[in-house]
Structure 1
Amino acid sequence: MATEPITEELAGVCVDAHGSAIGMPQLCGEWIGNQVFWLIITLVVIYFILARVALPRIASVLAERQGTITNDIAAAEDLKSKAEEAEKAYEKALADARAEAQAIAQKTRDDIKGELDDAIAKADADIAAKGAESEKAIAEIRASAMQHVEVVAKDTAQAIVAALGMSADEGRISAAVDNQLKG
């Protein structure tokens, strides 16, 4: 059986008398036809397995990935355009808010300036009124003082004349004092 020697007719140039291959069996010229046959069968089987099973799965995965990438790119561009619109709306709102703030600040400055001008005008009027009152009071004091000066001057003149030992006429003293006060 397994230990029986191979007969000479079965043995060829590629096999020795004991059934062992001489050299590399793939390079044996007698076996090339057989090897080519099985090679073709194997390649056909691999081709059908790849064509019917593996390649459709790979193609579907690649198509799915491409679809996902395309959808993601479209979504990213949509989000980018929305972000740009939101940024423009934000900038417009910010510009409007700044303009409104400027208008409010200007109105407030104008109101304050108007109130300040009114207050200054009122204060000027009060000062002018008090100044007029003060001048009137000063004029009254001056007039009163002049009357008192006249009386004191007449009394003093009489006292001086009396101290000198002379008699003084009130009419003459009054005339002399009035004359002196008029200038």
Structure 2
Amino acid sequence: MPQLDFANPMVLAQAVWLLVIFGGLYFILNSYVLPQVATVLEDRAQRIAADLDAARASKLSADAAMAELQAATAKARAKAQSAIAAAVQQANAQAQAQAEVLNARLAEQITAAEGRISASRDAAMASLRSVATDTATALVTRLVGRADAAAVDGAVGRALSARGSL
């Protein structure tokens, strides 16, 4: 290959200048450029580490806040359940008291009604003998023409006794 003919003085000069230029470039890069790049990379790594630390701290703070929120929510929920249970218990007690009052009033009314019914029945049963006697006397008088009051009263008494009505 003619490009690598080191016997030619032109190729040798080019090779020397190549080494000089690369050496100078290496010296400039090594002395000025690469330290600045290293500094930038180191600053960037420190900034990323600081950001990661801040993110970890924020996450811990958020986790603590979430735990506190959950605890407060659980406490509020328990308090609400307690209040609801107390309200239900109070409502049941009031309903029970009202039911007892109503039951007592109804029992009084039932007793009074039973007393009135019993009095009405006794009055009806007492008047039943006279009504039956008057009816029987009227029927016998109508059929026969005259009625013996003592005989009709005795027959009505026997009929009522047989039925258990009097």
- Considering the TM-score relative to the shorter chain, is it more than 0.5? yes
Q: Report whether the alignment pairs 1:54 with 2:33.
A: yes
The separation in 2 between residues aligned to 1:126 and 1:36, in whole angstroms, is 126
Query: Identity of paired residues, percent?
Result: 29
Pairing partner for 1:75 from 54, 61, 74: 54
Structure number with higher helix proportion? 2
Q: Is the contact made by 2:6 and 2:12 (CA closer than 8 Å) also made in structure 1?
A: no
Q: Which amino acid aligns with 1:152?
A: V
Q: Report whether the alignment pairs 1:45 with 2:24.
A: yes
Change (3 A) 1:35 1:168: same
The separation in 2 between residues aligned to 1:153 and 1:110, in whole angstroms, is 61
Match of 1:131, SS?
A: helix
Q: How does 1:1-183 map to 2 (within 5 A)?
A: 23-24=2-3, 27-28=6-7, 30=9, 38-39=17-18, 41-163=20-142, 164-169=144-149, 174=153, 177-178=156-157, 180-181=159-160, 183=164
TM-score by length of 2: 0.76
Q: Which amino acid aligns with 1:57?
A: Q
Instruction: Please give the root-mean-square deviation of Cα atoms over the aligned residues, in Å.
Output: 2.9
The number of residues matched between the two structures is 160
For structure 2, the residue ranges without an aligned partner over 5 or more in a row are: none
Cα offset, 1:61, TM superposition: 0.7
Match of 1:53, SS?
A: helix
For structure 1, the residue ranges without an aligned partner over 5 or more in a row are: 1-22
The separation in 1 between residues aligned to 2:3 and 2:160, in whole angstroms, is 161
Of the two, which has the highest radius of gyration? Answer: 1
